Chain A
Amino acid sequence: MHAFKYHRASSANEAASIVARNGEARFLAGGQSLVQMMKLRFVSPSDLVDLGSIKDLAGIKADGSGVTIGAMTRHAEVAGSAEVRKAIPALAALAGTIGDRQVRNMGTLGGAIAHADPAADYPAAVLGLGATIHTNKRKIAADDFFKGMMETALQPGELITSVSFPVPKRAAYMKFKNQASRFAIVGVFVADTAGGVRVAVTGAGPCVFRSKELEAALSKSFTAQAAAGVKVSDKGLNKDLHASPEYRAHLITVMAKRAVQSIA
């Protein structure tokens, strides 16, 4: 990888101001995506600002209505958290399926959603639950956060500090995984929330999206049968060596059906 300047930030403000001063600078969270991208020279930041020592960016707080998770909280902590398991079991379960043990010990929630890989798992939970992303500047609703292939609403130098997930009535995540990387070929997060049924799909398109067809069907009848009856369009879905758009469209229905089956 190309040389860069390393900074260790001790507060969110300090981290944001170093990045603001250096146009080509990036935040470093777990490094599970960024270090590989730098080794491959896909990206060559001038400066890296390590968030690892900022204590108040990591941690989990839960109350009756929601769970707030710090941006630097590792996947393994979310998967193993008794509080998350109790409040939103589907979220803890999702975190436990990301990559492998070693990746989960390093990778973070903030890094995962800032990176916004089209096949990443967390975006499905963030959008499916209608979470709120807190940054050093503002709050962003999940519906406004994911903009396209590895594109988010974050402005240059904007730092995610935490994500708040409202507790749903019930929710489940089903993923048809790539056997080698465990990334989602298709992942579907179904949530029955106070504001209605939300269905978020990852892995299938350039970025996570809500399936209006499935939401409409499940709002009428929250049953596996209702999900199974929905034919999802393959228009705009991803095509790669793992699956064709047609197959991905089919998998969306199947994963939604299985998700509902597990909680209906």
Chain B
Amino acid sequence: MGVKVSMTVNGKKLSSDVEERTLLVTLIREHLRLTGTHVGCDTAQCGACTVHMNGNAVKSCSMLAMQAEGADILTIEGVAAPDGTLHPMQAAFKENHGLQCGFCTPGMVMNAIDFAKRHPVAGEQEVREGLEGNLCRCTGYHNIVKSIVAGSKAMAAGK
């Protein structure tokens, strides 16, 4: 058994032969070798696997690759500029020490970018609520929240 799935990942069109039951995160990590997207819980709790599908943050461990047929997928590898310049949200995480071990960071950044597009002038409370789908076991969230408040401002200013 097998099916063909086609989508755009980080701007590149691709087709892949997969088993029907292949999860989107498996396609991204194991078929495309884009290992920046992490698997923390595999049960839709932690958000480490967050990517964008057509601009919306989704948990790639909780959907089939086939559900992304024809979609535009953005992973953490596609966020920085081609010359390596960090995305304003990535820069804000670096500036504000928004990570320790870094395991949760790709998912945090992907969710934060989607959040910031919708809440350009978010305060701390809104950011904390916007982070409900992402867990971090190191930082205690304080610096992540600071990073996202700063990153949102930088994104709004850059527009």
Which residues of A are at the interface with B, using a C-beta cutoff of 8 A?
A: 1-6, 8, 28, 30-32, 35-36, 38-39, 48, 50, 52, 76, 99-103, 105-106, 180-182
A-B contact pairs, 15 of them (CB 8 A): A2-B21, A4-B20, A5-B20, A6-B20, A28-B64, A31-B67, A35-B62, A39-B43, A48-B20, A101-B111, A101-B130, A101-B133, A103-B44, A106-B62, A182-B132
Contact with A along B66-91 (1 / 0, CB 8 A): 11010000000000000000000000
Q: Which of A2, A50, A103 has the most CB of B within 10 A?
A: A103
Cβ contact within 8 Å between B47 and A105: no
Query: In the complex, which of the residues B42, B45, B66 contacts A6, with contact meaning CB atoms closer than 8 Å?
Result: B66
Q: Which of A76, A102, A180 contacts B59 (CB 8 A)?
A: A102
- B6 at interface (Cβ–Cβ under 8 A)? no
Contact indicator A8/B21 (Cβ below 8 Å): no
A3 touching B19 in the complex, CB below 8 Å, given contacts A8-B66, A102-B58: yes
* B1 at interface by CB-CB < 8 Å: yes
Q: Given A6-B64, A35-B63, A52-B67, answer yes or no on A102-B111 (Cβ-Cβ < 8 Å).
A: yes
Q: Which residues of A contact B105 (CB under 8 A)?
A: none
Interface residues, chain B, with chain A CB atoms under 8 Å away: 1, 3, 19-21, 23, 42-45, 47, 50, 53, 56-59, 62-64, 66-67, 69, 111, 114-115, 130, 132-134
Interface pair A180/B45, CB less than 8 Å apart? yes
Q: Do the beta carbons of A39 and B42 come within 8 Å of each other?
A: yes
- Is the CB–CB distance between B47 and A102 below 8 Å? yes
- Having A48-B64, A50-B64, one finds 8 other A-B pairs with CB under 8 Å, namely A3-B21, A6-B64, A6-B66, A31-B67, A39-B42, A50-B67, A101-B111, A105-B53
Q: How far is the CB of B57 from chain A (nearest CB, A)?
A: 5
Residues from chain A with a CB closer than 8 A to the CB of B134 are 100
- Determine the chain B residues whose CB is within 8 A of the CB of A4 once the complex forms: 20-21
Q: How far is the CA of A100 from the CA of B50 in the complex (A)?
A: 12
Instruction: For B57, give its contact among A35, A99, A101 (CB under 8 Å).
Output: A101
A2 to B20, CA, bound (A): 10
Q: How far is the CB of A111 from chain B (nearest CB, A)?
A: 12
Q: Are B47 and A100 touching (Cβ within 8 A)? A: yes
Contact A101 B114, CB 8 Å, known A35-B64, A50-B67: yes
How far apart are B47's CB and chain A's nearest CB, in angstroms?
6
Question: In the docked arrangement, what's the CA distance between A11 and B114, Å?
Answer: 31
